[in-house]
């Protein structure tokens, strides 16, 4: 790998831009492809876009031999609504699992740097917060406040995005009431099926850390197409 | 929580660049293809410094030793190599993957 290629990948990573590196496995010849704006005449453009979308590298056969496409996507993102107790272990564990975590909570006493060191905090209302965050297919959204004023606003934004996971803390009863409100707000049953509630895998979690594990496990299952 | 927890997973290229800036010879190994129950997915990387220090992984620890030795050679020669490892594939260095998987690893010099 040439020095300038390495610098290009690191610059893209610092700016959280996706790039695909194409390397000829015979010669070592390489070039960086921007999957967001690949040249339509580029013979590797479509494959690079598909690799970036699937978050999965692949080998492409070309006239010059095998070319490996390695994907350097920005980190997965997680938006946590509610800077509550469970958010603390969840933010830490999610970061270890490779997520770029942002917490949104307009209640400034909750969302403090002292309680959430090294986590991006936003203090806007969750509807603005979600819209501004621009969730995409590599984003997970978890609501933890179980206050309809905060959670519902975030959920409307989440359901209008193509985020890969939506989970809501709250009992079955709380969740049923939530679905009813969202239905009245115009969301169809098929859309509401995207919501995981009560949030997390049923592992009998009790403590905030255990609940965080169950949530993160459910997110990974959704991300990787696990069997649960 | 600082960067340390993530360091081994995400900072392979950053480390390779730092070593190189410090004037060290560096090679990069990348998993380019897997079959069966390979321990690390395609795209996983290992950076190797000329003295054998490394960061990252291309397997569950089964073949890193062999890859590091190859990488040190490649830091010298500059010629990239495509290595294949498998449980039934007896390479000269006789390492294999106990899990029964097979992988191909591309090793190249950086810089």
A85-96 tens-digit pLDDT: 999 999 999 999
Confidence of residue B102 (pLDDT cuts 50, 70, 90): confident
Q: Where are the domains of chain B?
A: 4-110
Query: Quick check: A10 contacting B, CB < 8 Å?
Result: yes
Residue B22 has pLDDT above 80, yes or no: yes
Question: In sequence order, what are the residues at sequence separation of 6 or more whose Cβ sits closer than 8 angstroms to the Cβ of residue A139?
Answer: A76, A77, A78, A79, A133, A161, A163, A164, A165
pLDDT of residue A40: 86
Domain identity same for A48 and A68 = yes
Q: Would you give the DSSP letter of residue A36?
A: G
Last residue of a domain, one of A26, A43, A72: A72
Whether residues A61 and A83 share a domain: the answer is: no
The confidence score (pLDDT) of residue B34 equals: 92
User: What would the pLDDT profile of A183-222 be if each residue is shown by its tens digit?
Assistant: 999 999 999 999 999 999 999 999 999 999 999 999 999 9
Interface test with B, best of A70, A92, A93 (most B CBs within 10 A): A70
Residue B93 has pLDDT above 70, yes or no: no
pLDDT of residue B1: 36
| A83 plus A168 within the same structural domain | yes
Per residue in B33-82, pLDDT (tens digit) is: 998 877 788 999 999 999 999 999 998 777 889 999 999 999 999 999 99
pLDDT at position A46, please? 94
pLDDT given for residue B97 in this prediction: 61
Contacts of B13 in chain A (CB under 8 A): 6, 9-10, 13
Residues A177 and A104 occupy one common structural domain: yes
pLDDT for res B92: 39
Range of the domain at A19: 3-72
Query: How many angstroms separate the CA of residue B96 from the nearest CA in chain A?
Result: 22
- Give me the number of domains chain A comprises: 2
Longest dimension (CA), chain A: 62
List for chain A the helix, strand, coil content (%; round to 5). 40, 20, 40
For chain A, which ranges sit under pLDDT 70? Answer: none
Considering the domain architecture, whether residues A12 and A66 belong to the same structural domain is answered as yes
Report the run of H or E that residue A60 belongs to, with start and end: strand A58-62
What is the nearest CA distance from B110 to chain A, expressed in angstroms? Answer: 5
Residues A52 and A129 in one domain: no
Phi, psi dihedrals of residue A145, rounded to the nearest 5°: -80, -25
Q: What CATH number is given to the structural domain containing A127?
A: 3.40.50.720
Contact criterion met (CB < 8 Å) for B13 and A95: no
Residues of chain B found within 8 Å of residue A6, distances taken between Cβ atoms: 13, 16-17, 20, 110-111
ipTM: 0.84
- pLDDT higher at A150 or B102: A150
Same domain flag for A65 and A167: no
Residues A194 and A99 in one domain: yes
Which of A37, A72, A107 is the C-terminal boundary of a domain? A72
* Residues of chain B neighbouring A59 (CB-CB closer than 8 A): 32-33
Q: What percent of chain B has pLDDT over 90?
A: 58
Residues A128 and A189 in one domain: yes
Are residues A46 and A89 both part of a single domain? Answer: no
**pLDDT at site B3:** 39
Residues A110 and A92 in one domain: yes
What is the rounded CA–CA span in Å between residue B80 and residue A170? 55
DSSP sequence for A197-214: SS-S--S---SHHHHHHH
């Amino acid at each position: 790998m040439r020095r300038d290629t390495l610098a290009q990948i690191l610059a893209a990573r610092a700016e959280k831009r996706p790039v695909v590196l194409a390397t000829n496995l015979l010669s070592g010849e390489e070039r960086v492809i921007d999957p967001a704006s690949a040249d339509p005449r580029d013979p590797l453009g479509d494959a690079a876009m598909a690799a970036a979308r699937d978050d999965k590298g692949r080998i492409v056969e070309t006239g010059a031999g095998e070319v490996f496409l390695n994907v350097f996507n920005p980190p997965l993102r997680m938006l946590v609504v509610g800077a509550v107790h469970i958010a603390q272990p969840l933010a830490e564990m999610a970061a270890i699992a490779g997520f770029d975590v942002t917490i949104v909570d307009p209640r400034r006493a909750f969302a403090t740097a002292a309680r959430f060191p090294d986590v991006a905090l936003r203090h806007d209302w969750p509807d603005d917060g979600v819209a501004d965050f621009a969730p995409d297919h590599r984003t997970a959204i978890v609501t933890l406040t179980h206050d309809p004023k905060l959670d519902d606003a975030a959920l409307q934004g989440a359901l209008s995005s193509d985020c890969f996971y939506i989970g809501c803390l709250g009992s079955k009863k709380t969740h049923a009431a939530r679905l009813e409100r969202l239905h009245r707000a115009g969301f169809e049953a098929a859309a509401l099926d995207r919501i995981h509630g009560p949030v997390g895998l049923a592992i009998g979690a009790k403590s905030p850390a255990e609940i965080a594990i169950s949530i993160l496990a459910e997110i990974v299952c959704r991300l990787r197409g696990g069997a649960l | 929580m600082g960067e340390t927890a993530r360091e081994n997973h995400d900072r392979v290229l950053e480390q390779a660049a730092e070593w190189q800036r410090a004037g060290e010879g560096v090679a990069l190994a990348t998993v380019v293809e897997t079959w069966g129950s390979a321990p690390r997915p395609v795209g996983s990387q290992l950076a190797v410094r000329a003295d054998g220090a490394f960061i990252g992984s291309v397997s569950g620890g089964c073949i890193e030793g062999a890859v590091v030795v190859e990488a040190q050679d490649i830091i010298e020669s500059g010629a990239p190599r495509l290595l294949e490892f498998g449980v039934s594939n007896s390479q000269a260095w006789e390492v294999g993957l106990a899990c029964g998987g097979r992988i191909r690893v591309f090793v190249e010099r950086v810089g």
